[in-house]
């Protein structure tokens, strides 16, 4: 069946897979909904987006994405409220970051109507997949790849923008112990750390594997030049609570400008919690762990929202954090998720109805 809105063609799947999905036992990022959005770029412009059944597709083996890694993505979520309204959270921020990533990777920027209207149309079509209840979300993965052919190292002239959707339950990774990076780096000055580019993630896999072999779930990345400043935790921004102040590194060309990070900062400031956006040094962390002023460490990102860290390893020593009765991390997480699920007033105007 072909339906056409003014801007998007829709070819509906003959039969939904939704009844085959065990929503109570879903692993993050493994199950996809019935449809995907596809929009191709060629001859200097974007074509008409189409939403069609989710399926594999063919591209030339010499496509630049395979050889030169011209690929970017975003990660966001849709939420169902108590009255069955479906909501996005700050999609303008993801659009803005997507286009910054595109510019850095010499890829074309996407237009607001394709990105935002595309999101709204596909999420509306797949709304049965957005389940009610705490922690249930529909994870949204917009991405762009270079599909132009030719094994010559230059930017493609053809690209494909897509949106795929994956139902998700609340993300709990167990107790998270981290190791502070002393050698490997995820980003460098002048590099692509501030872009959500595919290569930023594959370059972490090997150091992550080494960390996991030593019993750590995540790496806290430090600055590449001196390995003295704490920058990100795995694929999350990272916060440190020192006494009653929360500190996090300022965004820079080495750090992803996280939507969760900026939202937690705004919430903390609204609540009168002291926030410092400044370089936090490894020495300070070790000292704080020794004298008890370091109360909490937590990662912040769309997938887990807030991920408390129980301890960290630096050089040969492991430092365990004290258990907190009044965790600021968990308070901020609750405030943020209540806004996302429309259980608390959205004083910032962050939520967008589908």
Ligand X SMILES: Cc1ncc(COP(=O)(O)O)c(C=O)c1O
Residue 245 CB-density burial (10 A; 0-12 exposed, 13-18 middle, 19+ buried) = middle
CA angle at 182 for the pair 285 and 316, rounded to the nearest 5°: 70
Nearest distance from C-beta of residue 109 to ligand X, angstroms: 18
Which among 4-12, 79-87, 253-261, 266-274 is the span making contact with ligand X, rule CB under 6 A?
Answer: 253-261
Q: Does 236 engage in binding with ligand X (CB under 6 A)?
A: yes
Judged by CB under 6 A, the residue of 34, 126, 223, 232 near ligand X is 232
Judged by CB under 6 A, the residue of 49, 118, 167, 258 near ligand X is 258
d(CA 228, CA 335): 32
- Residues in Cβ contact with 118 at an 8 Å cutoff, skipping those fewer than 6 apart: 8, 37, 39, 49, 51, 142, 163
Residue pair 163/50 in contact by the 8 Å Cβ criterion: no
Which among 22-30, 144-152, 244-252, 257-265 is the span making contact with ligand X, rule CB under 6 A?
Answer: 257-265
Judged by CB under 6 A, the residue of 108, 148, 301, 308 near ligand X is 301
Q: For the stretch 258-274, what's the b/e string if a residue is b when 16 or more beta carbons lie within 10 angstroms of its beta carbon?
A: bbbbbbbbebbeeeebe
Size of the site for ligand X (CB under 6 A): 12
Judged by CB under 6 A, the residue of 168, 256, 267, 285 near ligand X is 256
Which among 81-89, 147-155, 259-267, 281-289 is the span making contact with ligand X, rule CB under 6 A?
Answer: 259-267
Q: Does 261 engage in binding with ligand X (CB under 6 A)?
A: yes
Nearest distance from C-beta of residue 23 to ligand X, angstroms: 23
145 or 236, CB closer to ligand X?
Answer: 236
Token output for 325: 């009765």
Which among 21-29, 126-134, 229-237, 310-318 is the span making contact with ligand X, rule CB under 6 A?
Answer: 229-237
Token output for 116: 């935002």
Token output for 39: 């929009």
Q: Does 91 engage in binding with ligand X (CB under 6 A)?
A: no
d(CA 122, CA 117): 9
Question: Which residues are at the interface with ligand X (CB under 6 A)?
Answer: 75, 232, 235-237, 256, 258-261, 301-302
């Amino acid at each position: 069946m072909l339906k056409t809105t003014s801007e998007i063609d829709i070819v509906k799947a003959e039969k939904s897979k939704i009844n085959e999905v065990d929503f109570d036992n879903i692993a993050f990022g493994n199950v996809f909904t019935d449809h995907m959005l596809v929009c191709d770029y060629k001859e200097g412009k974007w074509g008409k987006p189409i939403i069609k059944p989710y399926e594999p597709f063919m591209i030339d083996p010499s496509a630049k994405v395979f050889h030169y890694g011209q690929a970017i993505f975003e990660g966001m979520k849709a939420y169902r409220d108590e009255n069955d309204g479906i909501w996005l959270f700050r999609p303008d921020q993801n659009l803005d970051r997507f286009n910054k990533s595109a510019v850095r990777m010499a890829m074309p920027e996407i237009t607001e109507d394709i990105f935002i209207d595309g999101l709204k149309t596909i999420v509306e079509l797949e709304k049965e997949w957005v389940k009610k209840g705490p922690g249930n979300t529909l994870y949204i993965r917009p991405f762009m790849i270079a599909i132009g052919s030719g094994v010559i190292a230059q930017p493609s002239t053809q690209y494909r923008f897509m949106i795929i959707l994956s139902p998700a339950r609340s993300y709990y990774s167990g107790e998270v112990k981290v190791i502070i990076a002393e050698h490997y780096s995820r980003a460098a000055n002048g590099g692509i750390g501030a872009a959500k580019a595919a290569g930023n993630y594959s370059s972490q896999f090997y150091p992550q594997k080494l960390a996991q072999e030593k019993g750590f779930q995540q790496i806290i990345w430090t600055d590449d030049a001196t390995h003295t400043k704490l920058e990100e935790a795995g694929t999350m921004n990272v916060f440190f609570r020192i006494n009653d102040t929360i500190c996090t590194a300022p965004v820079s060309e080495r750090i992803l400008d996280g939507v969760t990070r900026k939202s937690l900062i705004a919430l903390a400031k609204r609540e009168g919690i002291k926030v410092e956006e400044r370089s936090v040094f490894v020495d300070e962390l070790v000292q704080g762990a020794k004298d008890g002023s370091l109360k909490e460490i937590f990662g912040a990102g769309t997938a887990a929202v807030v991920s408390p860290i129980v301890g960290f390893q630096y050089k040969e020593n492991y430092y365990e954090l004290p258990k907190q009765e009044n965790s600021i991390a968990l308070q901020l997480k609750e405030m943020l998720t209540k806004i996302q699920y429309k259980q608390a007033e959205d004083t910032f105007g962050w939520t967008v109805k589908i």
